[in-house]
Structure 1
Amino acid sequence: MNQDREKINGLIEYVKGIKDNLNGAELYLKYKSDIENVKPQEAFEVFYALLEEGMEPKEVLVFLDKIINVFYKSLSHHQWERPANDNFLVDLILENEALFERAEEIKIDLKEENLEIKKEKLIPKVKALEAIKHHYLKKENILFPYLEKTMEKFHGLKIMWALHDEVRNRIQETVSILQSKESDEKEVNGVIGKLFFGILGVAKKENLILFPAASEVLSPQDWYDMHKQSLEYEFSFIEKAKEEIEMYRTDSEGRTEVFEGEYKLKTETGELSLEQVAMIFNALPVDMTFVDENNKVRYFTRPKDRIFPRSPAIIGRDVNNCHPPDSVHIVQKIIEGFRTGQKDSAKFWIELKGKMILIQYFALRDAKGIYRGTLEVSQDITEIRGLEGQRRLLDWD
């Protein structure tokens, strides 16, 4: 055990040295034995240690690929076995393989000599890469929470989430440059190169570090549950059999809605069974998520048309880990304002897929005024904003 700790400490010192721009060759020789035997789970420990010392995920991204390149030989030779129930993992791997195929198609179009024709060919293919968001969402909302519950070191996944955000931004930047009449050959090739480096780099890190580590620590039941939850999401670049999706959704519905006994919610305004409470919450045309006073996600509703994806995997997850690293500070500010009693609500509105979305946060306090949590409510207000005049008669046509 002491040897393992010494090895981790050595790897941490090596990475810190690279971060501080010390002599790379000398560092490599000093920590050669540790570097040439690094394992996926140890890589997680190293990067988690940097975050624990106060480094931000974006700061790690500056030198991350340099470190992964040095660790590559050892990581690529690491022997690991896929879980027995590998459906979810296979889906993620197939999505990556389809991504690499699309990258090869784009490389062919890059050889086009006429710049305008090249741009015309590239624009739809680069836009199609936006579908990678479904792959990332399944990781962020399903795989990451399961890993975080096993060991603290997996909180280092914030770094990979930051990579996701960087890729999303690079896709938008690439489309913008391709659509610009002023962009030249060098600019087009440069932005495609940056995009490939980012999006394919994430896939390679998954294959080298994320998938092996997850396979080693998660249980067969975890993999079954993750697969079941993943079928509520869209897929990146691949098709899934409708029969498989429906089979798991039916099973999910039968297993998750459990109302034990004859418990009732009784208040001065009426009485409801637990089943009635759930039906009412899910019938409301809003997404609701409840975070308790300890910043843990405890409940979310399942309306017919969700605005933002949610998975049972997030139950019990720290709310700070449910948001991209760049926006966590906003969440922390809202909750602190609620906790101290300075504020009782906050609201934002954004445009998403042609819709106007209102996002509101409400402080929840008990009868004594003590802070007991936060309720997030998201609503599509597109139709509401467009209402004019009056409607006094029923119109179901």
Structure 2
Amino acid sequence: MPNSSRDQRIQVLKDILLRLHHGASPDSVEADFQAHFSDVSPIEVSLMEHELMNGDHGVGFEDVMKLCTVHAKVMAAGVQGKEVPDSQQEGHPVWIFKQENLALQAGLHRIQRLLDALETAESQGQDLDPGLLRGLTRQYQLLDQFQRHYRRKEELFFPIMESYGHDAPPKVMWGVDDQIRDLFGLAKEALKGLVDQAGDASVAQVLATYQAFVQEFKDMIFKEEAILIPLLLSLFSEDDWLAIAKDSPEFGYAIIQPDKEWVPSRVKFGAQGENGELAGAGLGAEAQNEGPAEASADAPVSAIQPGPTAKPVASSVSDSASNPATSPTAKPSSNSAADSTTSPAPNPEADLPFGGGYLSLKEANLILNHLPFEITFIDKNDLFKYFNTSIAIENKLFPRVPSAIGRHVKMCHPPRSLDMVMTLIDDLKHKRRTSESMWFHRSDGRFAYVTYIGVFDDQDQYMGVLEYVHDIAPLLDLGPDKRGLAPLEGDGEQAKD
């Protein structure tokens, strides 16, 4: 379809949602929708939302979020059934995502049955069965694993969507996710009150808070299945899905535990086909039919390198020339093809001046990865550029994944905290603050202490923000003084009071 025709369809979709925004009923727009669209592309919907949020219509992501449920219902017939066969293979991130939704819905049914039994007992004046209450508490704990499902979506799916220029859907969906988290928090508090027999706690109150959560939770499942997944399958390359599959275990899974690794069929560079032709020469297999084998110097090296040696990346060269709206955003110049071909690799063993002495790159990297902190660096362009790997995955306070490197910091935070984060960065950048710290207790007993520092060079030029995070719970109960160790420089003098 020509771009002009596509733009017209996007405009019609935009007008429909604007009418809803200004008070039109869903029934009044549904007929127009059906008249103009027999099959709706998720790409077009995403572009429309992007225009709504970034145009001068007076519509922000909060407004689009209010329209999201209506939007999903209107779209339902148009987007269901669109699948890519690869995504149906066991272990594929989409397969896992859908299996989790099935398991979570089964959990909803189990909880509802237990609540119905408790409601019947209460209405008949019977004492509540402690066994039912224990079972209900256990089912709530299992259902709480939906947090892992949401975290993977927000931390792995959303960054890649944004790299292709689709930043509106993540903002909208993350905002709704936070609302659902809040509703489940209220539901858990109500259940705890009933179990502890606190105040005027009742089964009716537990039911009310649970049903408020369930309504929004089921709506989100529908939006994931009918809107989000088709959009992702339209956008993401095989390498994108491989990157997600690689990073997913760091965030965990909801209720189910996949036991099979997804291994896609890959065309190897230089391998001969049945007729003796070279397969995938010059480009990855996905890009062979995308036109000439040229790529911009801004493109990530791994997006244009051949076959099996290419690392999974959160981008693709597909359609980048013909459709700018769906092409990945440019990565930092240090990742460019031009840099990789003109700059020789530094000697990792060569001594370089660092601080008050000298270190090789190898030593500096090892030192950073032996510090007992989680370190993150945001560069002067507000891009997420570095994190160390000294803390084991299962012990991290804030998991970081390679696919987030190169992402703008404003895309790394949920909408509710974005203003606070950007204000802090701006204050550090302009030296209104030199540093900032926060601390909070976690439910697992750890005590997170987080510090942000503005980084400046010798010419007082702003270079970025350093964040370091550590668990200070062990430091709060160190016990008696421990002395007697000499400093490493070996002067033998004991530490003074």
Give the aligned partner of residue 318 of structure 1.
408
Q: Give the number of the structure with larger relative contact order, counting CA–CA contacts within 8 Å between residues 6 or more apart.
A: 1
Decide whether aligned partners of structure 1 residues 244 and 223 sit closer, same or farther in structure 2, where only a CA change above 3 A counts: closer
Decide whether aligned partners of structure 1 residues 23 and 141 sit closer, same or farther in structure 2, where only a CA change above 3 A counts: closer
Q: Find out whether 1:156 has 2:163 as its counterpart.
A: no
> How big is the shift at 1:175?
0.8
Q: Find out whether 1:278 has 2:368 as its counterpart.
A: no
Higher mean C-alpha displacement, 339-348 vs 190-199: 190-199
User: 1:115-130 maps to which residues of 2 (within 5 A)?
Assistant: 115=122, 116-117=128-129, 119-130=133-144
Any conservation in 2 of the 1:88–1:227 contact (CA below 8 Å)?
yes
Give the aligned partner of residue 183 of structure 1.
201
Larger radius of gyration: 2
Any conservation in 2 of the 1:126–1:174 contact (CA below 8 Å)?
no
Decide whether aligned partners of structure 1 residues 231 and 266 sit closer, same or farther in structure 2, where only a CA change above 3 A counts: same
Q: Find out whether 1:6 has 2:13 as its counterpart.
A: no
> How big is the shift at 1:137?
1.5
> How big is the shift at 1:387?
2.5
Any conservation in 2 of the 1:291–1:373 contact (CA below 8 Å)?
yes
Any conservation in 1 of the 2:240–2:312 contact (CA below 8 Å)?
no
> How many equivalent pairs are there?
382
Any conservation in 2 of the 1:295–1:373 contact (CA below 8 Å)?
yes
Gaps of at least 5 residues in structure 1 are 246-253
- Aligned counterpart for 1:28 among listed residues 30, 33, 36: 30
Any conservation in 1 of the 2:243–2:312 contact (CA below 8 Å)?
no
> How big is the shift at 1:185?
4.2
Higher mean C-alpha displacement, 206-215 vs 267-276: 267-276
Decide whether aligned partners of structure 1 residues 75 and 227 sit closer, same or farther in structure 2, where only a CA change above 3 A counts: same
One-letter identity of the residue aligned with 1:299: Y
Decide whether aligned partners of structure 1 residues 36 and 244 sit closer, same or farther in structure 2, where only a CA change above 3 A counts: closer
Distance, in Å, in 2 between the alignment partners of 1:298 and 1:17 is 42
Decide whether aligned partners of structure 1 residues 320 and 268 sit closer, same or farther in structure 2, where only a CA change above 3 A counts: closer
One-letter identity of the residue aligned with 1:89: V
Distance, in Å, in 2 between the alignment partners of 1:370 and 1:119 is 60
Decide whether aligned partners of structure 1 residues 9 and 82 sit closer, same or farther in structure 2, where only a CA change above 3 A counts: farther
Distance, in Å, in 2 between the alignment partners of 1:240 and 1:272 is 43
Deviations 1:164-209 (Å, cap 9, x if unpaired)?
2122212111011122242344432222222112223222211112
Distance, in Å, in 2 between the alignment partners of 1:82 and 1:186 is 45
Distance, in Å, in 2 between the alignment partners of 1:196 and 1:255 is 36
Distance, in Å, in 1 between the alignment partners of 2:312 and 2:36 is 46
SS at structure 2 position matched to 1:289:
strand
Decide whether aligned partners of structure 1 residues 275 and 89 sit closer, same or farther in structure 2, where only a CA change above 3 A counts: farther
Decide whether aligned partners of structure 1 residues 279 and 84 sit closer, same or farther in structure 2, where only a CA change above 3 A counts: farther
Decide whether aligned partners of structure 1 residues 91 and 24 sit closer, same or farther in structure 2, where only a CA change above 3 A counts: closer
Distance, in Å, in 2 between the alignment partners of 1:362 and 1:214 is 36
- Aligned counterpart for 1:38 among listed residues 29, 37, 40: 40
Provide the aligned C-alpha RMSD in A: 2.6
SS at structure 1 position matched to 2:359:
strand
> How big is the shift at 1:35?
5.0
Any conservation in 2 of the 1:127–1:171 contact (CA below 8 Å)?
no
Q: Find out whether 1:70 has 2:74 as its counterpart.
A: yes
> How big is the shift at 1:270?
2.1
Any conservation in 1 of the 2:65–2:173 contact (CA below 8 Å)?
no
Higher mean C-alpha displacement, 335-344 vs 191-200: 191-200
> How big is the shift at 1:50?
2.9
Decide whether aligned partners of structure 1 residues 240 and 374 sit closer, same or farther in structure 2, where only a CA change above 3 A counts: same
Distance, in Å, in 1 between the alignment partners of 2:110 and 2:94 is 25
Any conservation in 2 of the 1:35–1:70 contact (CA below 8 Å)?
no
Decide whether aligned partners of structure 1 residues 196 and 82 sit closer, same or farther in structure 2, where only a CA change above 3 A counts: farther
Distance, in Å, in 2 between the alignment partners of 1:278 and 1:155 is 37
> How big is the shift at 1:321?
0.8
> How big is the shift at 1:323?
0.8
User: 1:1-397 maps to which residues of 2 (within 5 A)?
Assistant: 1-34=3-36, 36-53=38-55, 55-78=59-82, 80-83=84-87, 87-112=92-117, 113-115=120-122, 116-117=128-129, 119-150=133-164, 152-180=165-193, 181=198, 182-241=200-259, 261-262=347-348, 264-267=351-354, 269-304=356-391, 305-352=395-442, 353-392=444-483
- The structure with more helix, counted as a fraction of residues: 1
One-letter identity of the residue aligned with 1:51: M
Kindly, what percent of the aligned residue pairs are identical?
A: 23
